[in-house]
């Protein structure tokens, strides 16, 4: 079996036999999978009338556990965006009824962002759709191969953590 990357590598080997193409063999596939994953995420979230950034914020709150609330600073760390961007996102999610803001009882100047019932329903539904789409992306490999791939990717990612 071969894929587009095999053809790309063969072309490069013909044109540049002196080059070490091993990074391309791995990372070109990762890049192509990233595009497929982006498409799957968009489809999964569209089924629930949200977009990726909305899922990211709602999912961070959902993963926090009951009462499903975080400070804006913690949301920044969970979603890797700037404070201005987070303020805008929380405002938009408040407008949609997916989150609410309340004063932080432990910090008079702070606020807490809390997932509403509607927000919890939408993020739970979107997660189910996402998992179904992602399971389809991984359908070509068995559970042992998935675990092995996960371990290899973890080993690669740890360098950047």
Per-residue pLDDT at 106: 86
Average pLDDT, the chain: 95
For residues 80, 86, 89, 90, the Cα torsion angle rounded to the nearest 10 degrees is 120
Looking at the DSSP bridge assignments, the partners of residue 122 are none
Q: How confident is the model at residue 83 (pLDDT cuts 50, 70, 90)?
A: confident
Please tell me the total count of domains within the chain. 1
Q: Is the pLDDT of residue 108 over 90?
A: no
pLDDT of residue 104: 87
Asked if residues 58 and 99 have their Cβ atoms less than 8 Å apart, the reply is yes
Q: Nearest to residue 71, comparing CAs of 32, 43, 112, 37?
A: 112
pTM for the whole structure: 0.86
Q: Is the pLDDT of residue 26 over 90?
A: yes
Domain of 80 in residue numbering reads as 4-158
Return the closest-CA partner of residue 68 out of 77, 76, 57: 57
- CATH number, domain of 49, equals 1.10.10.10
């Amino acid at each position: 079996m071969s894929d587009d990357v095999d053809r790309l590598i063969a072309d490069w080997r013909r044109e540049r036999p002196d080059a070490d193409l091993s990074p391309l063999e791995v990372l070109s596939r990762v890049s192509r999978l990233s595009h497929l994953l982006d498409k799957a995420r968009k489809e999964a979230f569209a089924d629930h009338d949200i977009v990726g950034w909305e899922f990211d914020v709602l999912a961070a709150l959902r993963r926090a556990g009951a009462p499903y609330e975080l400070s804006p600073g913690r949301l920044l760390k969970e979603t890797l965006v700037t404070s201005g961007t987070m303020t805008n996102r929380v405002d938009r999610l408040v407008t949609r009824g997916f989150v609410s803001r309340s004063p932080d009882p432990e910090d008079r100047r702070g606020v807490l962002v809390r997932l509403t019932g509607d927000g919890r329903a939408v993020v739970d539904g979107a997660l189910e759709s996402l998992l179904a789409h992602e399971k389809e992306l991984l359908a070509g490999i068995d559970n042992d191969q998935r675990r092995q791939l996960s371990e290899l990717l973890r080993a690669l990612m740890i360098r950047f953590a």
